[in-house]
Structure 1
Amino acid sequence: MAVYRRRPRIRIVWLTVALFTVVALFGGLGFLMSEDRFPGVVLNTARLDSHIKYLSSLSLEGRAVGTEGEISAVQYIRGVLDTIGFKTTVQTVPLQGVTLPAVNLSIGSDNLRRGQDFVITSEAENVNIVELKDERILYGGYCIKTDGNPEDYDSFCSTDVRGRVILCLVNDPFEGPLTYYGRWVYKVEELRRRGAAGVLLVHTTESAGYGWNVLQSPDGGENIRLMSKDGEEGLKIRAWVAQHIAERILKISIDRAFEEANRGGLCMQETDMILHVRLDITRRELYGLNVIGQLDGSAGNNEHVILTSHHDHLGAIERNGEKVIYPGALDNASGVGKLLELATYFAAMKSQARCCKRKLVVITPTAEEAVLLGSSYYADHPLLPLAQCAAVLNMDGMNVWGPTTDSVGIGSERSTLGDILARAAREEGQRVAPDPAPEQGLFFRSDQLPFARKGVPAMKITHGFSFTNHEQDIDEYLNATVWDYNRNVYHQPVDTYEYLHEQGDPYSGAEQEFKVGARVLFDLLVRGFSPKWMPGEPFARFRS
């Protein structure tokens, strides 16, 4: 009896162990096969190359807003998205184009040269001529008014600037990364709110983040802006002036001007320089086109993640009787190509029932080059409520200079998107490097910004700078590649498909960006991670 009773216990124990082993085994296999495990991804470089080749072809004439080139780009992008299973639509963005066929501007007794000394546009409504006579220029330093965030700073000191023309430095006096107060767009917005007649923004390469040639390229062409809201009064003149003109007005060196402004306590002050300006204005109404594609999620609600990359560029400009085309291959046919490949990847996963809990919304905005107009319009007129948008990822450009050991997320430190990026990079054998140029305020200069201003955690994924495919000093390599692009190719006619292939290794670095982006999107779409703004982040107050 004793032996008889022991044997069933042994069998039960072994059966229990076996059962748990099977459960554990199949549980493990279930994990390996579950939709929560990232399945890996390989970039189809041939297909990416074909996207870039078409979008940057001379037949599209630089994809300027409202042109046949933009329409062709939109049809191409929509065609790809339709084919892979996205539901697409085109959002029409009402815009106004302004050209100035005749410009005369003098400061003191000097007639200034358009393009060499200044570039200019006008926000004036319902008039064909803007004329300002005997306007004494006010100097406003950084033209900033804060209320303790990041600290108290007041350039205005209760000065009434209504009807005045103000000279402003670009940048800000605060320690750390550039704030939105440092962006030239803020200064325009602030002076517009205060009823100024115009602004003269002082250009230096260091404070603007790009050379004077970037401003020269589109000057004389059409300036694009959103249609004005009822009752909104724009600036009569909005101009950039070269450093030597600012020094002539201030009668001090630009370095000293920045030093004085950085010390604080610099209030709005009169200069003894008189401005005369006359602008002849031609306007037209036009429409930009935002391409929007949706890949439905399984949750059955409007929770979604937005992936953006603008499709427009500078178009073509008549210069000395010849048509000069700005193809915009790197900026931003390459970014759109990456967006299409990520969309293709997640559409394929959906067809295998591996994706997605949330909807994936891809947007290629119009008029990014005209200061984020397409993305701003969508943020004001979203197809899905932005309160139900978990995050926005933006891609602008592509690494064509080779693989790196690091990855960068512009704005990643502002939210827990930074944690998601860090894990994605780590799983691809990279580390996350900080913003390479915090003084330039890159977060405020691309299509993630309008969404952040609505409270949605957002970042721009881009490449690092620790390149591994070279034998020379890293600074020499950067100077010959990335910095050379910034100086001589960015917003120039030589940003071509051929330029990409003049680089020794145009797609291995792009594949790194693509894989990291795919992992971040996987965490958001499949694993359902919900990013949060970091404590104290100013954009958090806009989150519904």
Structure 2
Amino acid sequence: MRRFPLLALCALASATAAHGRDAAVPAPAAAAKEAATLVLPPPARVPPLSLNLLRTITRTLSSDAFEGRAPTTPGEEKTVAYLIDQMQRAGLKPGNKGSWTQEVPLVELTPVRTSALAIEGGKAPLHLAYKTDFVAGTYRVVPRSEITRSEMVFVGYGINAPEKGWNDYAGVDVKGKTVVVLVNDPDYEMEGLDGPFDGRAMTYYGRWTYKFEEAARQGAAGVLLVHDDFPAAYPWGVPLSSWTGPQLGLDLPDGHMDQSAVIGWVTLDAAKRILASAGKDFDQLAEEAKRPGFRARPLGLRASLAVENSIRKQASRNVIGILPGKTRPDEYVLYSAHWDHLGRCEPVDGDDICNGALDNASGTAGLIALAQAHARTGASARSLVFLAVTAEESGLLGSQYYAENPVFPLASTVGGVNIDGLNLSGPTRDVVIVGGGKSQLEAFLARAVEAQGRSILPEPSPEKGSFYRSDHFNFAKRGVPMIYATSGEDMIDGGVAAGRAASEDYTANRYHKPQDEYDPAWNWSGAVQDLQIYYRIGRELATSDQWPNWHPGAEFRTIRDLSRDSAK
């Protein structure tokens, strides 16, 4: 989970939100014209949602007996068995060829030793300190991975976007070399959302995961991403804590040997020292990298760095239920939520179980409550799939594995809704859509929100790239339109001040801490509000014969068009 209720990712959220709060959800002329051609089905009637079921499942999954629901632990065994029982009781059928689960192979790499980052060839040798100046690791499943005297190249933002006429790798061969890359998009400092990379709103090209993926496609042996608080949207402490402990990844047959040998982050100060050693001015090059036509710069430096890991392989499970369609059962509408949390964690007052009540026992309970409501209404034309995924907290791994190994073809998956935590503070007057302006699915959302007398607000901090930080993204990047929306901050009781206080309190005192526990005093009416919207979107997609697409210019449009063409 990455937010509540307004994407409160960390303590600096309130400091950065003001930059984007007044921006409008982008609606280019081509997107607006295309949205107008979408034919919505008759509005769906929303049946009662079981509040008792929501409470019971949330309370059970977040109890100490489930030990924080960490993947591959006894807590997972209890969670999976419980979810299968609840899906069956809700009226679903096993979703994976007669089985309720999909095995997700995982591998854990634990750092044993990381050398200093040694850089030679410049004005003076540099020896950068692990944790102080940089953090590093590898996706490769090997005991030792290294770069030795690897030539260094500054590649700006490290973006290759043919549809935008932008290629930071043009004219340079980085095979076997180490690239230095800036985080975010070239236009992240804009106030509006109309830049070549959506202005202040981060696109996938700005995400650190994309930078590593593209560098590997280009053949780079090493990747050093420059950390800067504002464009990264978090302080150095985040990569420091995230990159220095055990790392879970998918256990693939090739052992991720197609990835760069060493990847990591360097501090802004360290990056400036590296470029200064090469006789370059960091600020000048960073400014040049924002402009079209930028060309990568060889630095005349060579980098050496080694990482050593212990390796442990294991398997986790996604849980899948289905309500088969009556007339078009081979077309699928998807609901997703992650069942996992952190398991045992840093103790607070002697309590070391991160129960994850809101994150995401509540969202998993919402998934089951929606399944029950749909099953009681009866089968629709299309099939409805309910997917509880594992290892979201470890990098969206369960949804990634499903998207790469889909039980139901993604080309035949119409669209869906992702649920990552419910609003347990009370009803609101508004709804926030994360990554707004991207797809025709938003027309279904808009009608459902309007029917409740609520309004849709733009994402307050689009520069954080929150659309790319929850499970729906793994489906989106493979073309499937997904909605990720949540309650806003304008609460019926107390207004924006109350909503913001609730968000900040959760982030500061319970987010990813043992204090995220079930509270009998929670106000579930806001959760029910949102679940009613999710029900309508899913039901109307399941009764419709429409195939909502991404808007022109969205980074997922091309792959969706190709997948739909192949299906036809």
5+ long unaligned stretches in structure 1: 1-34
CA distance in 1, matches of 2:506, 2:303: 36
Cα drift, residue 291 of structure 1: 0.6
Unpaired runs of 5+ in structure 2? 1-40, 95-99, 119-124, 188-194
Quote how far apart the aligned CAs of 1:505 are: 5.5
- Residues 48-447 of structure 1 correspond to what in structure 2 (within 5 A)? 48-88=54-94, 89-107=100-118, 109-114=126-131, 117-125=133-141, 127-135=142-150, 137-147=152-162, 149=163, 151-174=164-187, 175=195, 176=198, 177-230=201-254, 232-250=257-275, 259-271=287-299, 275-299=303-327, 301-316=329-344, 324-350=352-378, 355-411=379-435, 413-447=437-471
Deviation at 1:376, TM superposition (A): 2.3
Letter in 1 for 2:154: Y
The SS at the match of 1:347 is helix
Residues 271 and 495 (structure 1), Cα distance of their counterparts in 2 relative to 1, 3 Å cut: farther
515-524 vs 266-275, which deviates more? 266-275
8 Å contact from structure 1 (residues 443, 459) kept in 2:
no
Q: TM-score, normalised by structure 1?
A: 0.81
Cα distance, 1:113 vs structure 2:
4.1
Displacement of 1:76 after TM fit?
Answer: 1.5
Q: Paired residue for 1:18?
A: none
Higher relative contact order (CA 8 A, sep 6+): 2
What is the aligned partner in structure 1 of residue 562 from structure 2?
Answer: 542
Q: Are the counterparts in 2 of residues 428 and 515 from structure 1 also a CA contact under 8 Å? A: no
1:480 to 501, 505, 509: 501
Secondary structure, counterpart of 1:62 in structure 2:
coil
Q: Are 1:517 and 2:534 an aligned pair?
A: yes
Please, which of 507, 516, 524 is the counterpart of residue 496 of structure 1? 516
Q: Provide the C-alpha distance between the structure 1 equivalents of 2:421 and 2:65, rounded to a whole number of angstroms.
A: 21
CA contact under 8 A between 1:210 and 1:487: conserved in structure 2?
Answer: no
Question: Would you tell me which structure has more helix in proportion to its own residues?
Answer: 1
Counterpart residue identity of residue 444, structure 1:
Y
Distance 1:372 1:41 in 2: 31
Tell me which amino acid in the other structure corresponds to 1:524: L
Contact 1:454–1:542 (8 Å) recurs in 2 = no
- The alpha-carbon deviation at position 317 of structure 1 amounts to 5.3
Per-residue CA distance 1:367-413 (angstroms, 9 max, x = gap): 22333322222223222233322212111122234322121333453
**C-alpha distance in 1 between matches for 2:383 and 2:165:** 42
**2-structure distance, mates of 1:105, 1:262:** 31
Residue 488 of structure 1: how far off its partner (Å):
6.3
* Residue type at the aligned position of 1:167: V
Q: Give the distance between the partners of 1:215 and 1:45, measured in 2 at CA.
A: 39
8 Å Cα contact 2:58-2:365 kept in structure 1:
yes
Give the Cα separation in 1 of the matches to 2:525 and 2:182. 40
- Between stretches 298-307 and 423-432, larger displacement belongs to 298-307
| TM, length-normalised to structure 2 | 0.78
Most deviating of 511-520 and 527-536: 527-536
Moved more, 423-432 or 328-337: 328-337
Overall identity of the aligned pairs, in %: 35
Counterpart in the other structure of 2:191: none
Shift of the alpha carbon at 1:134?
Answer: 4.3
User: 2:136–2:307: 8 Å Cα contact kept in structure 1?
Assistant: no
User: Are the aligned partners of 1:335 and 1:397 in contact in 2 as well (CA < 8 Å)?
Assistant: yes
Amino acid at match of 1:496: D
- CA gap 1:470/1:524 in 2 versus in 1, 3 angstroms: same
CA RMSD of aligned residues (A): 3.2
SS in 2 for 1:407: strand
Contact 2:150–2:176, Cα closer than 8 Å, also in 1 = no
Deviation at 1:324, TM superposition (A): 4.8
Per-residue CA deviation, residues 234-280 of structure 1 (Å, 9 max, x unaligned), is 22222133444334434599877654432344433345776443322
Deviations for 1:153-193, whole angstroms, at most 9, x for unmatched residues?
Answer: 23223222122222211111142232221111111111111
Larger deviation: 356-365 or 457-466?
Answer: 457-466
Structure 1 residues 478 and 274, CA gap change in structure 2 (3 angstroms): farther
Partners in 2 of 1:221 and 1:326 — Cα distance?
Answer: 17
CA distance in 2, matches of 1:399, 1:257: 44
Cα distance change of structure 1 residues 239 and 303 upon mapping to structure 2, 3 Å threshold:
same
Deviation at 1:323, TM superposition (A): 9.3
Q: CA deviation at 1:487?
A: 6.1
Aligned equivalents of 2:485, 2:62: Cα separation in 1: 22
* Inter-CA distance 256–364: structure 2 relative to 1 (3 Å threshold): farther
- Asked whether the equivalents of residues 328 and 496 of structure 1 are also in contact (C-alpha less than 8 Å), the reply is yes
What's the CA shift string for 1:449-480, capped at 9, x where partnerless? 23233332222132223333226xx3x55653
